[in-house]
Amino acid sequence: MKYGHLKAGLAINILSANELIFQESILLWQRKCEDALYSLLILGARRPVRHLASVAMRKIISKGDGISIYSRASSLQGFLSDGKRNEPQKVAGAAQCLGELYRHFGRRITSGLLETTMIASKLIKFHEEFVRQEALHVLQNALEGSGGGGASAAYTEAFRLVMRFAFADKSFVVRIAAARCLKAFATIGGPGLGVGELDNSASYCVKALEDPVSSVRDAFAEALGSLLALGMNPDAQVQPRGKGPFPPAKKLEGGLQRHLTLPFTRASGPRSKDVRVGITLSWVFFLQAIRLKYLHPDSELQNFALQVMDMLRLDTSIDAHPLVIVQKITTFSFIDFVLTFHP
């Protein structure tokens, strides 16, 4: 084990100077370095070392013979499929490396997306929170890396996993990871998600804005804004491969009213301020996506801003909440427009 650590450490140090390495040189020792890093990961390396080893593995493959991505991803999947619950460090190491490979080579290993999703479903049931967190990290990386080109069953299982297990997890880091998985779904066009799934996931995000941990609320606010922006753009929604035909994509009618305006005006209780600030952030992320990702014209952004103003007029609470709203939205290049509003 010590020798394996030395070899892996050498590989990591070499890759830190990667700009000096030529492909011809890497090809000479690529397989040995990959094997050393793999051994280090499945021997149970701790988190900082897991990260370095995973990055080194990715760099070696990207600079060397890229064909090895298939065998290396397959070996990691095989190890994780057989992983035991009494070996959490080993499982977490392999999962982190697999996620790193998917993040950079996902479109080349899309065929393994369903198996990776099933692996994440297994890991989410571990007692250790860091394993559950890695389960969702590998899922997020697999979704983003593969895009919408995977099998429909993979996206169905991934969505089920996030909605059924991750939202209510007792660990806040796992809940944050769940929100990022939903954001990943929105980023890649929501493959396999119809209007019902988008509406349901948005409702869960609104509920999560009552979470006692601010970083969890922020993560779900971003996911909510991204999902609603996707729902407003049916042409951007992706149809996955697999059994079809799939129903045509539809616009999420009334989504802004249902998931932003009404929750803001109806917020009450000890978490009402948190909910309103979270919805504020969701508006900002929604507007960012509408303008920067879906390229809506400025005239449409003004129409959306009017909806924000209407929402504020319905607010009968203290002035602090409208001030927060105005402050957040003005940071998103609405300064001239929003400053015309006087609560």
- What would the pLDDT profile of 169-209 be if each residue is shown by its tens digit? 999 999 999 999 999 999 999 998 999 999 999 999 999 99
Cβ atoms of 176 and 202 closer than 8 Å: no
* pLDDT at residue 25 greater than cutoff 80: no
Strand, helix or coil at 8? helix
The predicted model gives 302-329 an average pLDDT of 66
Side chain identity, residue 325 = I
pLDDT (tens digit per residue) in 81-121:
998 888 999 999 999 999 999 999 999 999 999 999 999 99
Q: Which two tokens stand for residue 55?
A: 């990055």
Strand, helix or coil at 42? helix
List phi, psi (to 5°) of 50: -60, -45
Q: Which two tokens stand for residue 301?
A: 């952004």
Side chain identity, residue 155 = Y
Q: Alpha-carbon distance 277 to 203, whole Å?
A: 16
Cβ atoms of 156 and 172 closer than 8 Å: no
Alpha helices in the chain (DSSP H): 2-15, 23-42, 47-63, 68-81, 88-105, 113-123, 129-146, 152-161, 172-187, 195-208, 214-231, 255-256, 262-266, 272-288, 298-313, 320-330, 335-338
Map out the domains of the chain as residue ranges: 1-147, 156-239+252-309
The crossing angle, in degrees rounded to 10, of helices 272-288 and 298-313 is 170
Strand, helix or coil at 58? helix
Weakest mean pLDDT among 171-180, 264-273, 295-304:
295-304
